[in-house]
Structures are given as structure tokens and as C-alpha cells.
């Protein structure tokens, strides 16, 4: 809602929420804002919402630019109503680095002598049959949202499931449906926190590999790779040391 698309669904000014220019105004219930609009794809909070009328170019976006590159969101301790704060998230500070990942495939500039293909093969401890593992693709020449993608497996793998073929061969929907069998994220920190998962995927174009046209909110063409049909030339796959 805030960093993706600022939406009117269950989120109407004066009905579901109010906006204020300070916390003191909010707590006093005075000088609430009077204008909001919504539903411009990938334009985040507050779109053109303003105290009395539309205020353009104050929004942020992960994909469409915007004039406000520096921003942050917070939640208030008072939301806990006196209850103890939850334990801090167990997400390492360097989780988005590659230090805890093992390369299993690489092409072009991302090819490496340290690649170990067996680590994502059948029976590898890095690809447990029970699911709940992570695979990561890096692609420096891809669009910003697709330069680093983390695949989070949710469900167990069927017998003889070929993980390498799924990613570098044909990206398939068989036992591999977004939101059912796996989730996609633009970073490992997002994946571990379970936030900003991707919302669109397609599949089943012969010899077109991961991620075909999958994208954070809608189809994103030409970010795929292929061993036979062109596509992005420089990319690598990794498995996470925490998978076993």
C-alpha cells in the first residue's frame, strides 16, 4: 500500500484513515487532510494527497522514479498498547551480500571457476526435498527490479524434480505456481522479512528460462535468459548456505 501502489481498496480518506501533518495534530484530532487520490499503478503513498487539495510530485515509487528519492516509514511504539515489543527480526545485516551464497551456474561475465553445479542437483543438501529453500539470480544487465531476484520455495519438491532445468531450461508452471509453491522477492532481506513479494508470473514458453515475464506487480518482458533463444547474456545462480 505505501511503497507499492497507493490504493483506494479498503483505504478511503475519512472512512478508513485520516492524514495529519504532525503526530500532535493526529493525537488531538485537528487539521486533518481533506484531499486524496489513489490507484496509479506503482505510485506509492501519498500519490497527490494534500491538506486541502492535490499536491503533485510528493509521491515515491520503486519503479517509476519520482522527485523524492530519500524517504523512510516508521511505526509508533504506542501501537503496542503497553504490550512488550516483539523480538527484533533475525535478519543478518549482510544478508543481501553474496558471502553466504554458493554459485551453481553462470554465463557471460558472471561465469566463475568456483561454480559447483552439483549443489542444486538432485539429492543436494542445498535443495531439500521438503522445500523451504532459497535460490538467487543475479543479472547486472537486467532492469533494476530484476538485477537481483530471490526465489523462496514453499512446498516440497516432487520426486525427480529438476531444479536446474526449471531455471536455465524452461521456466514451468508444473509444481511451480507463484503464491502456492514459491514466492519471489527483489532482495534476500525482503524474502526473509516476507515483505514486498512479487505479484505476477507467467511460464511455459519452451526454452525460455527464469523468470520469463515475472515482475513485482505486472509483466516485465525481456528479463529472461535462455541457453538457445537469446535473452540476457550475463547472469548467475546461487544457493544459500542456510538452505541445508
215-240: pLDDT as tens digits: 998 899 999 999 999 999 999 999 99
The pLDDT of residue 66 = 84
- DSSP letter assigned to residue 193: H
Q: Dump pLDDT digits (tens) for 13-41.
A: 999 999 999 999 999 999 999 999 999 99
| pLDDT at residue number 80 | 76
32 vs 2, 5, 106, 231, CA distance in Å? 19, 22, 54, 51
pLDDT of res. 181: 97
pTM: 0.76
- pLDDT one-digit tens code per residue, 96-146: 999 999 999 999 999 999 999 999 998 899 999 998 899 999 999 999 999
Residues 20, 49 contacting (CB under 8 angstroms):
no
pLDDT confidence tier of residue 88, bands split at 50, 70 and 90: low
Does the bond joining 46 to the residue before it have cis omega, within 30 degrees of 0? yes
Tens digits of residue pLDDT in 167-176: 999 999 999 9
Amino acid at each position: 500500500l505505501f511503497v507499492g501502489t497507493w490504493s483506494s481498496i479498503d483505504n478511503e480518506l475519512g472512512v478508513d484513515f485520516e492524514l495529519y501533518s504532525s503526530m500532535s495534530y493526529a493525537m488531538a484530532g485537528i487539521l486533518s487532510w481533506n484531499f486524496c487520490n489513489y490507484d496509479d499503478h506503482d505510485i506509492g503513498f501519498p500519490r497527490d494527497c494534500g491538506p486541502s487539495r492535490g499536491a503533485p510530485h510528493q509521491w515515491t515509487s520503486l519503479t517509476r522514479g519520482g522527485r523524492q528519492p530519500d524517504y523512510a516509514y516508521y511505526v509508533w511504539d504506542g501501537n503496542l498498547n503497553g504490550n512488550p515489543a516483539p523480538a527484533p527480526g533475525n535478519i543478518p545485516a549482510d544478508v543481501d551480500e553474496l558471502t553466504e551464497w554458493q554459485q551453481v551456474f553462470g554465463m557471460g561475465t558472471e561465469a566463475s571457476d568456483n561454480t559447483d553445479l552439483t549443489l542444486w542437483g538432485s539429492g543436494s543438501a542445498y535443495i531439500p526435498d521438503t522445500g523451504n529453500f532459497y535460490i538467487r539470480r543475479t543479472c547486472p544487465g537486467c532492469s533494476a527490479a530484476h538485477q537481483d531476484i530471490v526465489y523462496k520455495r514453499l512446498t516440497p519438491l516432487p520426486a525427480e524434480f529438476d531444479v536446474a532445468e526449471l531455471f536455465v531450461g524452461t521456466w514451468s508452471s508444473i509444481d511451480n505456481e507463484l503464491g502456492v509453491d514459491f514466492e519471489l522477492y527483489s532482495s534476500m532481506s525482503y524474502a526473509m522479512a516476507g515483505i514486498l513479494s512479487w505479484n505476477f508470473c507467467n511460464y511455459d514458453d519452451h526454452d525460455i528460462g527464469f523468470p520469463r515475464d515475472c515482475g513485482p506487480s505486472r509483466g516485465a518482458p525481456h528479463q529472461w535468459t535462455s541457453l538457445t533463444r537469446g535473452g540476457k547474456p550475463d547472469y548467475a545462480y546461487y544457493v544459500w548456505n542456510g538452505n541445508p
